[in-house]
Structure 1
Amino acid sequence: MKNVALLFGVVAITLVGCKNGEKTEASSEDMTETVDSTVVDSHNSETSLDWAGVYEGTTPCADCDGIKTVVELKDDKTYILSQTYLSDYEDKKAEIGETGTFTWDETGSKITLNIKNGTLKFKVGENQLTMLDLDGNVVTGDLADFYILKKTVE
């Protein structure tokens, strides 16, 4: 009789344990549905920053002392670009200026200026533009800080 009671007890515990497992699975499914319905944050540089304005800095140059770069971004997605090649030699001094339009990438964090000879890409940050390489990546290394244009105070 003791064996029957012991067997009955083990079966009862097993059934109760299985029932608790079912509740846990239901809770996991409920949690999955909650996670899937999470709202995606749509804040980015385009929508959250006061990006319109004038940015300047001196970017590196292979055969001159630097390139003074000034970019003015306007609310209507047009720009004015001025690049002055700095050199001690008169024959190496040059200034390039142009205007055009720019576009935002799908993430709203980078812009592409459509210039005469191709494109210039920048990452838009709080009061700064970071010039990107040809592939659209942030320049790294010792000269990385020289590719940052700071917003001027108007």
Structure 2
Amino acid sequence: MLGIVLGCVNTRQNASTDGSKFGKITENKLLGVYKGDLPCADCEAIATVLTLEPDNQYKLEYVYVGKDIDAFSKQGKWSLEEDELGLEGIDYRYKVEQGQLRQLDLSGSEIKGNLAERYVLKLLQ
């Protein structure tokens, strides 16, 4: 009887070490182009495109919709730590979810409130 209980406990531990409820997150699963319109305090939206490339390089582009401002573009290295994506030179991180990235606040917490669902970049198919 003890062997059965220990076997169950061990199985549960192994299942929970993958870091995500969607299965083990690997860098190859993240590759692609993510797009979304993020909230903006003084414009219609921030049209955002994030490209994650196989060599751990990223390109991030912002366009401030409804403002006469040049597009912002940044490139660098990206890294994956458990279920969070970090971009070199960018202060905030993204939580990796199935088919999307959710921007976290500067303290690393999920953004709450009415606009929370707009802080999402969806993977383009």
TM-score, normalised by the number of residues in structure 1: 0.66
TM-score, normalised by the number of residues in structure 2: 0.79
| SS in structure 2 of the partner of residue 79 of structure 1 | strand
Q: Displacement of 1:134 after TM fit?
A: 0.8
**Structure 2 CA distance, aligned partners of 1:51 and 1:34?**
33
**In structure 1, what is the equivalent of residue 33 of structure 2?**
54
Q: Displacement of 1:31 after TM fit?
A: 4.9
Alignment of 1:80-91 (within 5 A): 80-87=59-66, 89-90=67-68
**In structure 2, what is the equivalent of residue 129 of structure 1?**
101
Alignment of 1:13-92 (within 5 A): 27-28=1-2, 30-31=3-4, 33-35=6-8, 37-38=10-11, 40-41=14-15, 42=18, 43-46=23-26, 50-87=29-66, 89-90=67-68
| SS in structure 2 of the partner of residue 136 of structure 1 | coil
**In structure 2, what is the equivalent of residue 113 of structure 1?**
87
- Identical-pair percentage: 29
**In structure 1, what is the equivalent of residue 74 of structure 2?**
98
**Structure 1 CA distance, aligned partners of 2:87 and 2:115?**
22
| SS in structure 1 of the partner of residue 26 of structure 2 | helix
* Structure 2: gaps (5+ residues): none
| SS in structure 2 of the partner of residue 119 of structure 1 | coil
* Higher RCO (C-alpha under 8 Å, 6+ residues apart): 2
Runs of 4+ more than 3 Å apart: 30-39
* Structure 1: gaps (5+ residues): 1-26
Alignment length (residue pairs): 118
After superposing the two structures, state which structure 1 stretch, 35-44 or 50-59, moved more: 35-44
Q: CA RMSD in A?
A: 2.2
**Structure 2 CA distance, aligned partners of 1:34 and 1:56?**
43
Aligned AA for 2:50?
Answer: V
Q: Which has the larger radius of gyration?
A: 1
Classify 1:35/1:51 alpha carbon distance in 2 versus 1 (closer, same or farther; 3 Å). same
Q: Report if the CA contact (8 A) 1:114-1:120 is conserved.
A: no
